[in-house]
Amino acid sequence: MTDFDELRAALSGRVITPGEDGYDDARRLWNAAHDRRPAVIAQPRTAEDVQVAVRFGVAQGLELAVRGGSHSLSGASSVDDGLMIDLSLLNTVTVDPETRRARVGGGAKLADLDAATQAHGLAVPAGMISHTGVGGLTLGGGMGWLTRKFGLSIDNLESVRIVTADGSLLRAAEDENPALFWAVRGGGGNFGVVTEFEFRLHEAGPMVQYGLQFWGLEQGADVLRLARELIPALPPEINVVIACLNAPPAPFVPEQHHFEQGHALVVVGLGSPEQHGEVLETIRTALPPLFEFASPMPYVALQQTLDEPNRWGQYCYERGSYLEDLSDGAIDVITDQFPRKSSPLSISLLYRLDHAYSAVPDDATAFSGGRTDRYAIVMVAVCPTPEPYAAERAWVRSFWDALRPHTLGIGSYVNGMTEGEDDRIRAAYGDKYLRLQQLKAKYDPDNAFHRNQNIKPLL
């Protein structure tokens, strides 16, 4: 057993060990499929505290895990018998509305970011679930409702402050440590612990236009073919997510359709209500839905619409791929495979990636996806209890395997990888992988930060 008195004395934050108050809450992860017991949990209050924790863990030979929002699907946010560095106290968000910049602590969640920026009618392109951590989401890329208009989270990153494996606190930006800055924009948590992100902000909200239109399973192919024709032609102010899901038991859903399997188009407009309404009318005329709901809503509410289906404490598994297009073959697989799930909460989503996403050169960042126009598809198993989890996980794997002949290879968005499959990680980064290995060897030669979609140092 390691004596943690030295760590306690050096840290201004809190150090928690098994049996102490707060230990079980601090070690708990969003994905209940992973239940890990660290030997010690450090909760830094400052960047200097993070330096202390990293140096201590490395010196003691403890396996390190970094916990931001704790949304790691693979459970990498924690570790058995090692050191968890819990960044939850580093959650401050400071906004300068004049320069349109935000400084965001490494432990902040999207809800913290959205609340602070929307007070000024500004936003950072980010994810779709408000209890997601800013850190993990951003380091892998960061895609969501604003991606077609403003790009990925990493495309709007000005700088980071990062603690590397030797305990150094570095600033990485285009004008300082530019190679490291390139690597952290898509390379995940492989290069250190980011204590602060600096983002560029954009005008968005405070109100947006929301619409959801739903069709039954038998119309799935028609919905996807309609989406194929409609979505690429839409301006970047309109984003449409294609959802294969069970209709929620919401007040706007007719009772006879509660929990019914089907397909939905979720249409979000950043522009005028008239522009949004025209898109809904085009869809409605082409293919009348079973039901629909349309309303303006606050941007912060939009960011919370998926919070409850993805609440803490469920058993989750995910796989994803990129599709160049919604080909007839891909549509056949999606409509065949989706109904085979058993949990009402399991879902498959497709996002269109184009406009601002595709305007960034592929080699400008380490992002694990080409910058040509495409769709990202994810298949997500969500089970409230452990009993159906194995079967639902098998459904995701079968779905992914069946779709593979129609995808852009086995690589995918690293934030959606549940398992550390080396071949898929290498495929995701493609030609960038060697450069990332070289930078890993420079900043983390002993692979101290390996609880992630790991890039192995080139030795």
Report how far residue 31's alpha carbon sits from residue 43's, in angstroms, rounded to the nearest whole number: 20
Tokens found for residue 248: 């929620």
- Residue 266 is predicted with a pLDDT of 98
Instruction: Say yes or no: do domains 93-204+432-443 and 207-416 share a fold.
Output: no
Mention every residue, 6+ apart, whose C-beta is less than 8 A from residue 393: 317, 381
Report how far residue 248's alpha carbon sits from residue 379's, in angstroms, rounded to the nearest whole number: 18
Model confidence at 58, in pLDDT bands (50, 70, 90)? very high
Rounded to the nearest 10 degrees, the angle between the axes of helix 220-230 and helix 328-337 is 140
Residues 92, 102: contact at Cβ < 8 Å? no
- Long-range CB pairs of 398-403 (<8 Å, 24+ gap) are 398/337, 398/340, 399/319, 399/333, 399/337, 399/338, 399/340, 399/348, 400/319, 400/320, 400/321, 402/333, 402/336, 402/337, 403/321, 403/330, 403/333, 403/334, 403/337, 403/377
- Domain borders along the chain are 5-86, 93-204+432-443, 207-416
Model confidence at 369, in pLDDT bands (50, 70, 90)? confident
- For residue 15, how many C-alpha atoms fall within 13 Å in the half-sphere facing its CB? 19
Report how far residue 438's alpha carbon sits from residue 457's, in angstroms, rounded to the nearest whole number: 6
- Residue 248 is predicted with a pLDDT of 93
- Residue 307 is predicted with a pLDDT of 95
CATH architecture designation of domain 5-86: 2-Layer Sandwich (3.30)
Query: What percent of the chain is modeled with pLDDT above 70?
Result: 99
User: For 375-389, what is the mean pLDDT?
Assistant: 97
Q: What value does the mean pLDDT of the chain take?
A: 96
Model confidence at 3, in pLDDT bands (50, 70, 90)? confident
- Residue 2 is predicted with a pLDDT of 64
CATH architecture designation of domain 207-416: 3-Layer(aba) Sandwich (3.40)
User: For 129-155, what is the mean pLDDT?
Assistant: 97
pLDDT in tens, 186-229: 999 999 999 999 999 999 999 999 999 999 999 999 999 999 99
Flag whether pLDDT at 441 surpasses 60: yes
User: For 311-333, what is the mean pLDDT?
Assistant: 96
- Residue 322 is predicted with a pLDDT of 95
Lowest mean pLDDT among 98-107, 324-333, 411-420: 411-420
Flag whether pLDDT at 346 surpasses 80: yes
Query: What does the H/E/C string look like for the chain?
Result: CCCCHHHHHHCCCEEECCCCCCHHHHHCCCECCCCCCCCEEEECCCHHHHHHHHHHHHHHCCCEEEECCCCCCCCCCCCCCCEEEECCCCCCEEEECCCCEEEEECCCEHHHHHHHHHCCCEECCCCCCCCCEHHHHHHHCCCCCCHHHHCCHHHHEEEEEEECCCCCEEEEECCECHHHHHHHCCCHHHHCEEEEEEEECEECCCEEEEEEEEEEHHHHHHHHHHHHHHHHHCCCCEEEEEEEEECCCCCCCCHHHCCCEEEEEEEEECCCHHHHHHHHHHHHHHCCCCEEEEEEEEHHHHCCCCCCCCCCCEEEEEEEEEECCCCHHHHHHHHHHHHHCCCCCCEEEEEEECCHHHHCCHHHCCCCCCCCCEEEEEEEEEECCCCCHHHHHHHHHHHHHHHHHHCCCCCCCHHHCCCCCHHHHHHHHCCHHHHHHHHHHHHCCCCCCCCCCCCCCCC
The fold adopted by the segment(s) 93-204+432-443 is: 3.30.465
